[in-house]
Amino acid sequence: MGHVHNHSHEEGGGMNKDEKTLRVLLVHWVKHNDNHVEDFKQWSEKARKMGKGEAADYIDKAIEYMQKTNEMLMESKKYI
């Protein structure tokens, strides 16, 4: 004798299209941001070599914010 249930056995559970898309986008955004972070690090170093320490400091701060942004994006993924 079978049983009745209202959930899907497909990957992603009962997620709708937008939920699935958002999960994919969150991962994409984090990877995209990571690429920017690598560029920022290179340019921060170049700025320091040019004697532009204050500019480098702000770039370094942007790196910290971008890393924090990624943490928040991945945290949000847990709730989808």
Helix then strand count (H, E) for the chain reads 2, 0
Q: Tell me: the pLDDT tens digits for 58-70?
A: 999 999 999 999 9
Concatenating the DSSP letter of every residue in 4-16 gives ------STTTT--
pLDDT in tens, 38-54: 999 999 999 999 999 99
Residue 15 pLDDT grade (very low, low, confident, very high; cuts 50, 70, 90): confident
- Tell me if 66 sits within 8 A of 31, measured CB to CB: no
pTM over 0.85: no
**CA dist 74 to 1, 32, 66, 79, Å?**
42, 13, 12, 10
- Strand, helix or coil for residue 13: coil
Q: DSSP code of 10? A: S
